[in-house]
Structure 1
Amino acid sequence: MAKITYVEYGGKAHEIEVRDGLTVMEGARDNGIPGIEADCGGACACSTCHVYVDPAWVDKLPKKDAMEQDMLDFAYEPDPVRSRLTCQLKVTPALNGLIVHMPEKQI
């Protein structure tokens, strides 16, 4: 399990434990965290699970693959460095302490 903090656009933080093997998106969905829509169910076919990764985590996460990078082009105000799709981040013990920030809105 990893403790992940989801920070809503307005600043409200939700720290939850997410089981290994799930995605960061599934952790949000299963715990009712607002702000991550996940319209495609985690197929990397939309950008509604877009977040900004806390700067301290940018280099600790696996690199974005081409499909994730392409989908981020459709996200609301993507950041070239900090934007990630939570459906593409698998939870492992290495993600313990991860902090993600939701954008103002999802597309």
Structure 2
Amino acid sequence: MSDNVRLLVQLQDLDIMIREISDPERAKELKTLGFEMTGLERLKTARINLAQSIETRWLVIYERLAKKHGRAVVPVEDKTCLGCFQGLPGSFYSEISAHQPVKICENCGRILYLLSR
């Protein structure tokens, strides 16, 4: 996984946590399950700091995709994008490892990454 994709996955995780804590219904549900719902400001600060370390072009793409799909960065499993569940071309694995460390799904436009095995 390239550094850009790793940072984007971390940013997406922070965005999900911020969204869940900010949603009163979801926060109430999580509190009922025993989760402590504190640290929203720390999460927002961490997000800002992390976003500053990501290349601008990838951050712009991420923000656009996150607004459209919710999840902008998704894994690939068995040559399938787990965002839109469409099959990827047979050359995907050789391209992502050799020539292009960051790939975009041709169907939904999400940023793809391989799960570590």
TM bin (shorter chain) = under 0.3
Larger radius of gyration: 2
Q: Quick one: higher RCO (CA 8 Å, sep 6+), 1 or 2?
A: 1
TM-score by length of 2: 0.25
TM-score by length of 1: 0.26
Select the structure that is richer in strand: 1
